[in-house]
Structure 1
């Protein structure tokens, strides 16, 4: 699975599969026999044609947001180590997903350059401080949490007001609309 810090699970990428007819199969269910719960999986290596799973012929990048890569990569099952399928080279798929993430970032509201630089500096400084002076790092983190809570509440309020005409918030945050609304709610619920 591939993720970015900013988008997390909303844009979690993974190898997806296609069947010979070009369709994307549904998850495979496994009966463990011990309860009414059936385990399901959509991991690409499950679709090897065994245990009633359909046989995948191609891989393509996929994202939790619903995006699917245009490039299809032929899947040669003779090249897959069934004991360690995670060692199979999915570099091309990840590169396709990386391009999708770059496209999402390009459509999102840009951060002011000076703020982006400052955030990077704070991240580096806190990382170093955590090892060198952990109590000082914790004091700084406490102050940042307060700043984030206060500014987050105000930003969420103004974003809601700006979107009062029904315009979508998601694209500006680079998120599907549902996740964007949850993010706003998270900030408005902090007291």
Structure 2
């Protein structure tokens, strides 16, 4: 989402009265110009990793009602959504593929845990506790191997399909829980 001057604004804060918690949003529809908020001029695909789509899609305010919230307006989001989905495809294709036996094991584990969660929640919780221990142990070993092997954070981010900052936090979370 871009403003008329081409800049990407910061979050919109919502005045809900007094209190320590001031809700905010960076959702595209919050930038509708109402209540002193910035008014969007262009839409574009974006992702939390920092990616921003190259294509820009203008909002035609001559056909949009200034009094209607953008989320209620008939705004065509097909372009930004298609750009976002194309980006996710590129990210997924660049990520490290899991071997088929591991994918099958994770799928079976998910199904078994979901079934246990319904039929016997205590069994599901015990399995999850054991799994949490296993994840911490194997995660620490893998994170150490990444750091000792001096695998660049760019490579880790690509392999995980995430941003460099997120990859760094992810690896560090196993090294320093």
Alignment TM-score, normalising by the size of structure 2: 0.76
- The equivalent position to 2:60 in structure 1, one of 73, 76, 86, is 76
Deviation, 1:93, is 2.6
Q: Give the count of matched residue pairs.
A: 172
RMSD value over aligned CA atoms?
3.3
State the partner residue of 1:60: 44
Q: Does 1:24 align with 2:11?
A: no
User: Residue by residue, what CA displacement relative to the aligned partner does 1:149-181 show, whole Å, maximum 9, x if unpaired?
Assistant: 1111111111112226x5632222222222111
- The equivalent position to 2:28 in structure 1, one of 41, 44, 47, is 44
User: Residue by residue, what CA displacement relative to the aligned partner does 1:69-99 show, whole Å, maximum 9, x if unpaired?
Assistant: 2333332344568247167553443332122
State the partner residue of 1:140: 127
Counterparts of 2:122 and 2:18 in 1: how far apart (Å)?
49
Counterparts of 2:98 and 2:4 in 1: how far apart (Å)?
43
SS at 2:32 equivalent: coil
Gaps spanning 5+ residues in structure 1: where? 1-16
Query: Counting strand residues as a fraction of each chain, which structure ranks higher?
Result: 1
Gaps spanning 5+ residues in structure 2: where? none
Alignment TM-score, normalising by the size of structure 1: 0.71
SS at 1:63 equivalent: coil
User: Residue by residue, what CA displacement relative to the aligned partner does 1:95-150 show, whole Å, maximum 9, x if unpaired?
Assistant: 32122122112112221121112111211221112101222222221221121111
Q: State how 1:159-174 maps to structure 2 within 5 Å.
A: 159-163=146-150, 166=152, 168=154, 169-174=156-161
- The equivalent position to 2:71 in structure 1, one of 74, 82, 85, is 85
Q: Does 1:188 align with 2:171?
A: no
